[in-house]
Amino acid sequence: MKIAIAIIVLVAVAGIAWTMIGHVRSGVRRLSRDESAIRNLVREAYGANITSEKLIKNGPDVNFAVQLKNEKIEELNVNLSSLARKHREGASLVAIKTSLRFDDATLPTSRQHE
């Protein structure tokens, strides 16, 4: 009986340790449904011009860092959590997607003539 209890405790501790290692290793929690929708909007807006992307934990928020080619900007860092909150508060996905694109008027002066 003591051996069975010891095995159960050992398996439970191993399971908890495995779970904690998985969370620490990944560094970023799972995205909510709204955060995933915003990430997909970024992918739709920039499509084949995305050369690399990664999720970055920024306190309680998750940012989506994207490297771009053939665009007016080379790197885009989108706070998925913040835009997801705005979407839940009533901002439409169409409006958010439109705001993700930049034209010459919204770029810093040093970048306008490149």
| C-alpha span between 109 and 14 (Å, rounded) | 56
Q: Domain segments of the chain: what residues?
A: 1-27, 33-103
The reported pLDDT for the residue numbered 77 is 92
**What is the overall mean pLDDT for the chain?**
81
User: pLDDT (tens digit, 9 = 90+) per residue, 47-94?
Assistant: 889 999 999 988 889 999 999 988 788 888 999 999 999 999 999 999
* 112: DSSP letter: T
- pTM score: 0.64
Helix (H) or strand (E) holding 15: helix 2-26
pLDDT at 103 over 90: no
Nearest to 61 by CA among 41, 40, 85: 85
